Amino acid sequence: MSRVKFAVVGAGHIGKRHAEMIRRDAEGELVALVDPRGQEACGAQDFEVPFFADIKELLKSGLEFDVLNVCTPNGLHADQALLALDAKKHVVCEKPMGLTTKSCEAIIYKALQVSKQVFCVMQNRYSPPSVWIKELIDSKVLGDIYMVQLNCYWNRDERYYKAGGWKGTKDLDGGTLFTQFSHFIDIMYWLFGDIENIQGKFADFNHQNYTDFEDSGFVSFDFVNGGMGSLNYSTSVANQNLESSMTIIGQNGSVKIGGQYMNEVEVCNIKDYQMPELAPTNPGNDYGPYKGSAANHNYVITNVIDTLKGRTAPTTNALEGMKVVDIIERIYAVRDAQHNGQK
């Protein structure tokens, strides 16, 4: 049985998680790590594979691999994905796929040109409440969707935004919606489709010394498929994450999925419907004092291997990855227009 060979660029917390999940999969093989900081500085000595300073050095080495996992700062994703595709490698890209729709389009065009797959990492889709609500929406059990409210209230303070790092910078981070909350925008798009008529109000309450952008926003919109929605978000919450929740008001009932990262069904009140018992959700990614989205990267790697072996299709394809970037870009266009109007 041939194993799918992976190289991972970016040996930070998420990159090492990718590497570990590859190592644990019987049909996957980790063959290289790439990071300019070096193996020891990254704390990646446990991975006994060749270590390269950059992707070009990896490609010049002649080392054979099938897939490049891009786990670097957001602003590097698109260029690194294109480098891999130019070398005729498949790509697994951490969120966001890029910081502009235009850069995502370039990735999709190149992938089609070289007949390679691009997998976008939106691992919250694998959480049992997400799988359940997707089935519920697709089967029309709720009837017409009237309203959807997405609340994302997290803590990101000086423990997260280290001086001199890439987090919080406009060019490499891109913004709160790209780094913290794109997973939840992906879930919303996956369930209800595209949005229009976007309006918003934005603020920077306590991150003036840490970031180049807002920390909070109220955003309202209409769904192209019918119904209206809102996204309320903030990273200005003190001490620890508060919640990530989605409330859905439909013709036949209401559902609320809550918890710190949409890991619990808090309300299910639907006419003539009995909710099934769900499997427990994996805990959030643990970054010490602060927490991230569900740690479902094992499912991502398995999906990549199964797709490349012809057993299934990508859970999140490149077009969906681009659509999340497009939605965030349009929300930020409203923010920027307001900011420019205040000058």
Domain residue spans of the chain: 4-120+298-317, 124-293
For the beta sheet containing 118-120, the strands, ordered from the edge strand earlier in sequence to the opposite edge, are: 51-52, 28-34, 4-9, 67-70, 90-93, 118-120
Q: Is residue 243 over pLDDT 80?
A: yes
Cα angle value 110/111/113 (rounded, 5°): 60
- For residue 191, what pLDDT band results from cuts at 50, 70 and 90? very high
Collapsed DSSP state (helix, strand, coil) of residue 250: strand
What average pLDDT score do residues 207-212 get? 96
Q: Is residue 14 over pLDDT 80?
A: yes
DSSP string, 115-139: T--EEE--GGGGSHHHHHHHHHHHT
pLDDT digits (tens, 9 = 90+) for 296-332: 889 999 999 999 999 999 999 999 999 999 999 999 9
- Helix residue spans in the chain (DSSP H): 13-24, 55-61, 77-86, 101-114, 128-138, 176-179, 182-192, 297-308, 318-342
pLDDT at 260: 82
What average pLDDT score do residues 103-132 get? 96
**CA gap 37, 343 in Å, rounded:** 40
Count of alpha carbons within 13 angstroms of residue 165, beta-carbon side: 16
DSSP string, 138-179: HTTTT-SEEEEEEEEE-B--TTTS-TTSSTT-TTTT--HHHH
Q: Which of the following CATH numbers is that of domain 124-293: 3.40.800.10, 3.30.360.10, 3.40.50.1820, 3.50.50.60?
A: 3.30.360.10
What average pLDDT score do residues 147-165 get? 94
Q: Is residue 283 over pLDDT 70?
A: no
Q: Is residue 51 over pLDDT 80?
A: yes
Q: Is residue 272 over pLDDT 80?
A: yes
pTM of the model: 0.94
209 near 244, Cβ under 8 Å?
A: no
pLDDT at 128: 94
Q: Which of the following CATH numbers is that of domain 4-120+298-317: 2.60.40.10, 3.40.50.1000, 3.30.428.10, 3.40.50.720?
A: 3.40.50.720
* Six-digit token string for 121: 């990492």
- For residue 293, what pLDDT band results from cuts at 50, 70 and 90? low
